[in-house]
Amino acid sequence: MEMSVGLSNSVKGGAVLKLSFCPLAFSRFNPSPPSSTSKFLFRKKSYSKKLTGRRLISKMTDSEVKAATSDSTAGKMIFQPILEDGVFRFDCSANDREAVYPSLSFINNKSRDVPVMSNKTPSYIPSFECRLGQQIVKLEFPAGTSFYGTGEVSGQLERTGKRVFTWNTDAWGYGPETTSLYQSHPWVLAVLPNGEALGILADTTRRCEIDLRTECRIQFISLPSFPVITFGPFSSPTAVLVSLSHAIGTVLMGPKWSLGYHQCRWSYDSQERVLEISRKFREKGIPCDVIWMDIDYMDGFRCFTFDKERFPDPKSLVKDLHNIGFKAIWMLDPGIKHEEGYFVYDSGSKHDVWIQKADGKPFVGDVWPGPCVFPDFTQSKARAWWANLVKDFISNGVDGIWNDMNEPAIFKTVTKTMPESNIHRGDHELGGCQNHAHYHNVYGMLMARSTYEGMGLADRRKRPFVLTRAGFIGSQRYAATWTGDNLSNWEHLQMSISMMLQLGLSGQPLSGPDIGGFAGNATPKLFGRWLGFGAMFPFCRGHSETGTIDHEPWSFGKECEEVCRLALKRRYRLIPHIYTLFYMAHTRGTPVATPAFFADPKDPNLRTLESCFLLGPLLVYSSIMPDLGSDKLQPLLPKGIWLSFDFDDSQPDLPALYLQGGYVIPFGPPHQHVGESNPSDDLTLIVALDEHGKAKGSLFEDDGDGYGFTEGEYLLTHYVAELESSVVTVKVSKTEGLWKRPNRRLHIQLLIGEGAMIDAWGNDGEDLQIEMPSEIEVSKLISSSKEHHRLRLESIKHIPDVEDGSGHKGGELSRTPIELANGDWSLKIVPWIGGRIISMVHLPSGSQWLHSRVEIYGYEEYSGMEYRSAGCTEEYNVMQRDLEHAGEEESVLLEGDIGGGLVLQRQITIPKDNPKILRIESSILARKVGAGSGGFSRLFSIFTSTFFFLFHFSFRLLFDYLV
């Protein structure tokens, strides 16, 4: 251990108090780590082995334990057909098949455990090896196979070359190499060279490594014993997802209003501010349906309470919101303040619902309210207790509930969650009494389930809407999800597309990012481009962190505001189509948003496209580069006919839209909120004929809420179009449901190329015929459309390239993360959120262990909004950046004004001569210390909190064991 401390006395005008520390980053092979730390870790490892042994013995005989954990056990897995044709369950042995825990991913546990009759045999049989207490499962595929899925993950769309660990983690400020995020989906979708596809599920709730680093090989590693379920190969990726939905369930059918735009912030701090924001949407004609209340509406962060000063009358607030067409969603966290006299704590203690420590006492961990206890959602009595609290909470006018921090996240701990030794007294059908390591990944899903059921108890006439941060494969049955605490930069805009798609490819179609980025200040161009694209995402919400600039659509200037208005009007016109896709997803298991290669799974060129996606047959294509708009794109389109169109709203910051030949999609007029629409609105069908002159499409309609659709109270219309003898006939081919067709006009827009179209009007339900013009007339229409498009692009006002924050003394405020890499370390530092290190990767091991917070010996690296040192501002200027400075090191020097004439300097260095060391050197400079400045007191208070030690070797021991 090496540590250097320098201290110099304060003097007027140029005082420097300097505390430098040089934490050694030991490599995993360093032979001499600090003895006290290594003893602690070895004790922890020994204890964990004993706990694992008890877990196995509780379910198996001694011989079965030996069979499941033998260092030499290996071979091909045994299989049996389950669920339906083409689905197989694989186990290491018959004993293992009997020993596994109940499935928490399957909607019906029996369908995983009961074999069915089938004449098929599996095309791919996994091999296994049980070594060092781990079950390792491998599947080999032919060259040219592409891997997708793996749930909520950052980074590239095509997952070959990546490794994921399923361990729900509060991963604020994650990057493309972060290996664990907020949700766990031990699932891979393999697309074979011929376009067929196969799905593979490792059905375990435990921490599981999904290793795709070897081309054409999938490897799952977790504690034994767990089964592997394969789906297919089937003819297409869609067929695999449909089969998966038969196992894990389909997405909930949410209320129609939930498909509108959602506006959120941490936090709108009073009911006056909530109403001000909502009314401004209406005044500016920007469509929006939902406004969200983050944690600050509560009384001291106590769940199920309201701050009496800032939110004194929530019922009145919600009534006012409903009157202008808004719904209200409120946050509920799992951490319940440990405080006698607080009715939720007292009630939970009376019902004995808290998670326990190994000694049987309730576990207490710090979250927003301070010391908290946590409901044990693995128990039916705890779920019922929570559901009844939710039921009562709904009476305040709550329209939807947001479950956050439910990984569960715990403050003041390096692991960011509760100890794995904690005890859950789970229901027998869930797996019985187990430690937290067993239930950690499903805790958020079970909380979302309890919340969903509570909303159902409150009003059975309405469909619940729940948003959850943490989840597991199967949680789509209860909640939507968002992609967590992302950053306001172009990298996260790009990743948001792939992340939304991966969740859809893992059975969770109702998802989206915090549009504009949660942490940091978006620029006008970034926000406009992000909302332009994000308006087409299945779940569409803007959200930003406290301490950042305003992130409402009008906050970035008139040009950006207009882009946002047009983008959201597009979304609202397409809601009939999106709502139909969700009805199909709910009833049939078909996906909602998919990668472009779903249009042609055989085409390898489409498999890595990350700037586009499909909504059914509608292709959304945009630029993810700051200096390149969609008008300059030369998109790679799937084979076949793809016809472009817009709503006379073309913009470089809006995506280009293409409809696949052979399809019809419905849309309506642009409303300010979903409740404005009514069945008598004019209906428009966009028609793109295929090479045979045919097209088809569907429209689902119902009340938009409630469960009447399950009893036939709906109308599902199937439209067809066909060209015969230069006449296109559009008609209804079939209907389903008991609803009568509304009396409305039907507008047909027949696409003929380059955005040109032929318009025709009629009455919905009647055959409508369109006379096709001559080739010369078609050519004129296309030329006219192209000219109109050109003139429009020339006349629009572009969003200015504004990058805020030029610093003093020649320093500047970088709006993109700064990366340092040398030797053993790769770091990402973000000046505009407090100069924090948000990513720290040890390159030899590949471990990423600083996502959120490290607090050791009084010093804190915390990649959240709050910086603990007294008086510190949120932005640092980059004073100097040296890559191999003087041939010795990579470094960046940051400086932030902390008031009182003081600045805090941070120099982060990776020395070239000793690349195992990471050096963070903090200095407090008194530039203007004098009477009344307050500088001396601030200087002292910061000095007392600036010690930091990192033991990479120690962390690697823990990391190796945990994963």
- For the chain, counts of helices (H) and of strands (E): 17, 52
Task: Count how many residues are written for the chain.
Answer: 963
What number of CA atoms fall less than 13 Å from residue 194's CA on the CB side? 7
Supply the angle between the helices 380-394 and 343-351 in degrees, to the nearest 10.
150
Residue 32, exposed/middle/buried by CB under 10 A (0-12, 13-18, 19+)? exposed
What is the rounded distance in angstroms from the CA atom of residue 868 to the CA atom of residue 882? 28
Between strands 919-926 and 902-911, the pairing is antiparallel
- Residue 733's nearest CA partner among 716, 746, 747, 720 is 720
What is the rounded distance in angstroms from the CA atom of residue 599 to the CA atom of residue 601? 6
In angstroms, the first-to-last Cα distance of the chain is 26
What is the rounded distance in angstroms from the CA atom of residue 256 to the CA atom of residue 252? 12
129, 407, 702, 764: which one is catalytic? 407
- What are 164's two structure tokens? 């994921």
Asked whether the beta carbons of 539 and 509 are under 8 A apart, the reply is: no
DSSP 375: B
610 is catalytic: no
Between strands 127-131 and 134-140, the pairing is antiparallel
- What are 335's two structure tokens? 């951490």
Rg (CA), the chain: 29
- What are 744's two structure tokens? 């409305």
- Rounded to 5°, angle at Cα 905 from 899 and 909: 160
514 is catalytic: no
Asked whether the beta carbons of 666 and 577 are under 8 A apart, the reply is: yes
In degrees and rounded to multiples of 5, residue 854 shows phi and psi of -130, 125
Q: Give Cα 779 distance to the centre of its chain.
A: 45
- What are 223's two structure tokens? 């504690």
The neighbouring-strand residues paired with 186 are none
In degrees and rounded to multiples of 5, residue 402 shows phi and psi of -115, 115
- What are 525's two structure tokens? 């161009």
666: preceding bond cis by omega (within 30 degrees): no
- What are 855's two structure tokens? 């607090």
Residues whose CB is less than 8 angstroms from the CB of residue 186 and which lie 6 or more positions away in sequence, other chains included: 151, 166, 201, 202, 203, 204, 208, 210, 220, 222, 473
What is the rounded distance in angstroms from the CA atom of residue 802 to the CA atom of residue 523? 6
What are the DSSP calls for 855-918, one per residue?
EETTEEEE-SS---STT--S--EEEEEEEEETTTEEEEEEEEEEETTEEEEEEEEEESS-TTB-
What is the rounded distance in angstroms from the CA atom of residue 815 to the CA atom of residue 959? 32
- What are 51's two structure tokens? 């706990």
What is the rounded distance in angstroms from the CA atom of residue 216 to the CA atom of residue 488? 35
767 in the Ramachandran plot: left (φ > 0), alpha (ψ -120 to 50) or beta?
beta
DSSP 707: S
What is the rounded distance in angstroms from the CA atom of residue 394 to the CA atom of residue 710? 24
- Residue 951's nearest CA partner among 32, 6, 4, 20 is 32
158, 399, 485, 921: which one is catalytic? 485
What is the rounded distance in angstroms from the CA atom of residue 302 to the CA atom of residue 723? 64
376, 404, 562, 895: which one is catalytic? 404
888 is catalytic: no
Active site positions, annotated: 404, 407, 485
